Structure formats: structure tokens, C-alpha cells
A and B are shown apart, each in its own frame.
Chain A
Amino acid sequence: MLMIKRLMTKYIPAMLTCEEIDDFLYDFHEGQLSYTEHLTFKLHLRLCKECKDYVRKYKNTIRMSQAGFTKADPAEKVPEELIEVILKSRTKK
């Protein structure tokens, strides 16, 4: 697989290198690559285990950082004592 990747990178101008995968990764994740860019990105991942793993971990990092924080419910009530404190802080001055 490594040889195929090297040959394709050498002889197919549109083929991305691992370094270029880094450059395209943000836009790939944001869904902002053009159709052709998206295809060449995916083709590289098919041929390169390291990059496939790298992209998977990049996505996992985002997912886990989101899961690490509370998804707050906008309907959650603010404690009445806190509302009172806030209102009093205005009149205190």
C-alpha cells in the first residue's frame, strides 16, 4: 500500500501528500472542500493508514471535547436566590 501511495503521489498531480492532508484537514472537517478536493482527500485516506488514523483522532478530539462540557438546557431555571442577588446588585451601587 505504501508503494502504491508513493507512486500515485509521484505521478498523479492531484494526489495529496500527508503534509497537504494537514493543510486540508480543517476545511474537510468543516465540509468546505470542493468536490474534487474532497475526492482527493478521501483517496489519500484510502491509501494511507497513518492519515486515516490521524483524521479519526482529530475528529474524536473534537467530539470528546464537546462531550466533556455540559449541554445546558435553556429551559433550566435560574435559582430564585441568584435572581434576587442580581437584582440587588443593581440597587446596591
Chain B
Amino acid sequence: MKESPSTISEQDKENQLIDKLIGNDDLAYEILVRQYSARMYAVARRFFTSDDDAQEALQKAFIQVFKKISTFNKDSSLMTWLHRITVNEALMIIRQKKRQNTLPLESFTQHYNEHGERTVFSDNSEQSLMEGLGHNIEALFEKNETKFSLNELIYQLPEKYCNVLLLRDIQEISTKETANIIGISEASVKTQLHRARLLLKSILEQKDKDRLEDNWKVN
């Protein structure tokens, strides 16, 4: 039985739209932008605290879409392809924002004694200072200004750690898709994500320690 227009599947509609886009149909471009921009914007917004950055990412993503639509081979859904382009453009903006001096990698090195037991602290006074950290650090990050600096801290992580942390923990993209976007193996995604978390953890601990020490001096 011949399919009536009302029963055209979403996939068929998408294919028709893509064909029209490749055919340089103005109306199809308008439909594309109006139909997909909100979801792409939501992806971009999740990378940044500033609306301006998110809007820049969206604009740049569409420029890439307009350039590359003729190469879209329908291996994935249109939204998946648009999502990937938006992510890449957001990462590009973050890369440009990065300061020259990214954070050192050594700061998360773990220490163990001869029994293979964790020795986090070099002396007792430091230990007592750090004991309450788990709670203090949460209070610290409830403030909006700290929220902002936390983003900045993540942006300053070495690029491979920053990217994988943004994609897996912030965007909650699967390991497989993250591996595809960055162009590394799934095993590398896992390793780099674990290291990124450990590095961020030790930086936050150090920051909280500095803050407590400052408070101690003031009082």
C-alpha cells in the first residue's frame, strides 16, 4: 500500500530535509535552524556560564553545518551530527580561552607507604586541617562566584583532560561517543577521565586548604 503523506516517518522527513539542504533550498535552511537550534543551544549552554559564549558556539556550529551539509552521509541521525558539530565548536572556543599555562599534572600523584597504604598527608597538622575538607568544600562551591571559578579551573586543565571531563561528566556523553568525538580509544577516554577527576580533586583540595589557612591567619 502506498504511504499517505501523513504517515511519512520521521526518518523520511529528515531525509527529505537533508536532500533539500543539499539542494540549497532556502526554506529548508530556515526549517533546519528553527527546528534544531534550541537543542543545539542547550548543548552549547552546558559548556559555558556565559550566554555570549554559548551563542558564539551555536553560530559557529551552524557555519560549519552550512559548509559541510553536502558531506553528511546519513550514517547517524541529523541531530547526532549537529550535536557533534556543536560540541566541537564549543571545545574550540574553550581551547581559545585557555591560558598558556595550564595546570601541572604532578599535583595528583598518589603516595603510599611500604604497606601499600595511602599516605595523603605529610604531617599531622596538615591532616587535621584537611579532615573537614569534604564538608567545607561543598559549602565553598555553593557560592555563585565559586561556581564561575570552578568552570575556569576545568578550562585550565590540560586539554586532553579538560575535553574528556567536559564531554563525559558535564555533557554526560557516552564513553563510545566521546571516543569518536575526540578521536581516541574508549580505554583512553576512561584513563584520561579518571586522571582528570583526580587532578581536579587535588586542585580543589589545595584551594580549600589555602582558603582555610587564610581564614586561620585572619582570625
B62 touches A89 (CB 8 A): yes
How many residue pairs link A and B with beta carbons under 8 A? The number is 125
Flag the segment in B2-10, B30-38, B97-105 that touches A: B30-38
A68 touches B120 (CB 8 A): no
- What is the bound-complex CA distance between A53 and B127, given in angstroms? 12
Q: Among residues 61 to 87 in chain A, which have CB atoms less than 8 Å away from a CB atom of chain B?
A: 61-62, 64-79, 82-83, 85-87
A60 touches B137 (CB 8 A): yes
Q: In the complex where A57-B134, A58-B201 touch, is A18 in contact with B118 (Cβ < 8 A)?
A: yes
Chain A residues within an 8 Å CB radius of B160:
none
- What is the bound-complex CA distance between A71 and B67, given in angstroms? 29
Closest beta carbon of chain B to A19's beta carbon, Å = 5
Further pairs besides A26-B194, A58-B197: 19, Cβ < 8 Å? A6-B115, A20-B116, A48-B118, A50-B117, A54-B118, A54-B120, A57-B137, A58-B201, A61-B197, A62-B197, A65-B200, A67-B147, A69-B46, A74-B38, A75-B38, A76-B42, A82-B55, A83-B37, A86-B33
